[in-house]
Structure 1
Amino acid sequence: MKGNKKQPVDAAKQFINKHYPNCQGAILAGSVVRGEATDTSDLDIVVFDKLIASAYRESLQDFGWAIEVFVHNWESYKQYFESDRKRARPSLPKMVFEGVILKDNGSLEFIKKEAESILQSGPDKWSDETIRIKRYFITDALDDFKGCLNRAEEIFIANTLAELVSEFVLRTNQQWIGTSKWIVRALKQYDEVFAIQFVTTFDCYYRTGDKEPIIQLVEEVLQPFGGPLFHGFSLGK
């Protein structure tokens, strides 16, 4: 580590001893435990403390690191597990399952197994009605993209399509989704070949302005579900 930055596990343990000495458990998660750390990576630490009234998140600088701490009691983590499962973005279960135990009163292995079970089960299956609604909104964005003559507006329509289509592909295959960098990671975990095609298609558009590869990709994704949807769609009727 550069400068006075301590090794991740050492820094995390010292952080816990300094800021949460009475907690019952702590886990170090994130890129540093996955071997994916960069110069701007921080430490993600999940703390379990039965004495806190409600969960909270805090950002600090200590021991040469930017540190994100997620503090839970023995009930709040269950609520977050369930919330993450319902939104299909298992942030906390993933941190707990992948993380390295820093401190444990004997409860963390059970919680890790809870997290693993959620991750392995995957999110709830989309209903036919949900798929239909998503098809419509993807079609709406695609039509805007096809007809747009303003490059600035077109770029942001493309961004919307990237998010909507990645979500559609993952959720119709009962896969977890993500945001930002986690979109690509989730796609790779599901289907690396498709992930490469997806990234290459949008990268080509951003570099050259050629819309056709995106249009083809979106229509191919929708085709097994009936293709683009506009005529006859209604919502709340």
Structure 2
Amino acid sequence: MNSNRLKPIEAATQFISQNFPNCQGALLAGSIVRGEATETSDLDIVVFIQDLPSCYRESLIKDGWPIEVFVHNLTSYKSFFESDSKRARPSLPKMVAEGIILKDEGILDSIQKEATQLIVNGPEVWSTDTINIKRYFITDALDDFIGSKNRVEEIFIANTLAELVSEFVLRTNRKWIGTSKWIVRALKNYNEQFSEQFVEAFDLYYKSGDKNKVINIADAVLEPYGGRLFDGFSIGK
């Protein structure tokens, strides 16, 4: 990281004092707090302002730091907690639960407890209908993957399979999901051995074109729920 910049907590604290001096609470969150920062990491800051008319998100650069600021009043965050829970990606709850307090006028304890409890509870249980729909879409992608002779198309089918299969194994085990880099992180949180096998299977395919381990992983994930699904599947009949 740029050695001329302020340390993350110093920079975040200064940002709050200069830009949100009247806020009731503020947290520094994200990769820096988790010890996973890279050269391009930004400061994720969550701010709570009691009389804020509506919540907003803003990206800016201050003192050499890229900053993502998420600004809420004392109720607007709740709808984000709810929507994040429904999509099974608890972005805001995770930031709040893990965040380092920069300023607090007595409001953050209850909000952080709320966020932590939501994460501990995990996402909603998938219904049998939802599981069958997901089985069908994985089967469809898997058939395309197996049958394809076009390397360019296969790469993007493999990407779709990675997302579908990771989502399936996590949601059927009531675990939070992720996108992009968070796919692997979510899989590691669920089962490190499975995560390694998953990465190895796709890495082998991308390097050599060998599809077998990807196919085997997909089938193994589907097997406890009846395996691949095509014949007889319908929606809206």
**Smaller-chain TM-score range?**
over 0.9
Could you tell me whether the CA contact under 8 Å between 1:5 and 1:65 is conserved in 2? Answer: yes
Give, in angstroms, the shift of residue 4 of structure 1: 2.5
CA deviation string 1:27-54 (max 9, x = no partner): 0001111111111110000000122211
Counterpart of 2:68 in 1: which secondary structure? strand
Counterpart of 1:39 in 2: which secondary structure? coil
* Structure 2 residues without counterparts, runs of 5 or longer: none
Name the residue aligned to 2:6.
6
The residue type equivalent to 2:13 in the other structure is K
- Counterpart-to-counterpart distance in 1, 2:205 and 2:211: 6
Could you tell me whether the CA contact under 8 Å between 1:146 and 1:211 is conserved in 2? Answer: yes
- Counterpart-to-counterpart distance in 2, 1:24 and 1:219: 51
Name the residue aligned to 2:84.
84
Name the residue aligned to 2:197.
197
* Structure 1 residues without counterparts, runs of 5 or longer: none
- Counterpart-to-counterpart distance in 2, 1:146 and 1:44: 41
- Counterpart-to-counterpart distance in 2, 1:60 and 1:77: 21
Name the residue aligned to 2:180.
180
Name the residue aligned to 2:44.
44
Counterpart of 2:120 in 1: which secondary structure? helix
**Further displaced range: 46-55 or 105-114:** 46-55
Name the residue aligned to 1:19.
19
Percent identity of the aligned residues? 68
Could you tell me whether the CA contact under 8 Å between 1:4 and 1:63 is conserved in 2? Answer: no
Q: Superposed, which structure 2 residues align to 1:205-220 within 5 Å? A: 205-220=205-220
Name the residue aligned to 1:117.
117
Counterpart of 2:177 in 1: which secondary structure? coil
Counterpart of 1:112 in 2: which secondary structure? helix
The residue type equivalent to 1:77 in the other structure is Y
Name the residue aligned to 1:137.
137
Matched, 1:61 2:81: no
Give, in angstroms, the shift of residue 116 of structure 1: 0.6
**Count of matched residue pairs:** 237
CA deviation string 1:10-66 (max 9, x = no partner): 000000111111111100001111111111110000000122211111001002200
Counterpart of 2:69 in 1: which secondary structure? strand
- Counterpart-to-counterpart distance in 2, 1:53 and 1:138: 43
- Counterpart-to-counterpart distance in 1, 2:63 and 2:12: 8
- Counterpart-to-counterpart distance in 2, 1:47 and 1:158: 39
Name the residue aligned to 1:72.
72
Q: Superposed, which structure 2 residues align to 1:90-109 within 5 Å? A: 90-109=90-109
The residue type equivalent to 2:62 in the other structure is D
Give, in angstroms, the shift of residue 3 of structure 1: 4.0
Could you tell me whether the CA contact under 8 Å between 1:43 and 1:66 is conserved in 2? Answer: yes
